[in-house]
Amino acid sequence: MKLRFPMAAPHTAMPPPSSAPRAQLIHIEVDRRLGHEWDEWNGRPLPGGGDFSAAPGLFFRFAALTVATATGAAAVLLYLIGPRLGTLWPPLPRILWSVLGLFAVFQWLYLSVLAASFYSGRNLLPERLLERGPYLQLMNYTSLVARGFGKRDWVEHAAIDIYNTLAERRGRRVGKGELLVLIPRCLSKQALDGVLEIAGRYEVPVFVATRGQLARRVIRERRPRAVVAVACERDMMTGLRDVAGKLPVLGLTMQLPNGPCRDAAIDLGQMERWVQRLVAEAPARGHTKQ
What whole-number distance in Å separates Cα of residue 122 and Cα of residue 112?
14
Q: What is the pLDDT of residues 171-203, one digit of tens each?
A: 999 998 899 999 999 999 999 999 999 999 999
> How sure is the predictor about 38, in pLDDT bands with cuts at 50, 70 and 90?
low
Q: What is the pLDDT of residues 122-149, one digit of tens each?
A: 999 999 999 999 999 999 999 999 999 9
Q: What is the pLDDT of residues 167-178, one digit of tens each?
A: 999 999 999 889
Residue 17 CB-density burial (10 A; 0-12 exposed, 13-18 middle, 19+ buried)? exposed
Structure confidence at residue 281 (pLDDT): 53
Q: Which candidate, 267, 266, 281, places its Cα nearest to that of 202? A: 281
Across-strand partners of 200? none
Q: What is the pLDDT of residues 91-115, one digit of tens each?
A: 999 999 999 999 999 999 999 999 9
Tell whether the torsion through CA atoms of 53, 57, 61 and 67 is positive or negative.
Answer: positive
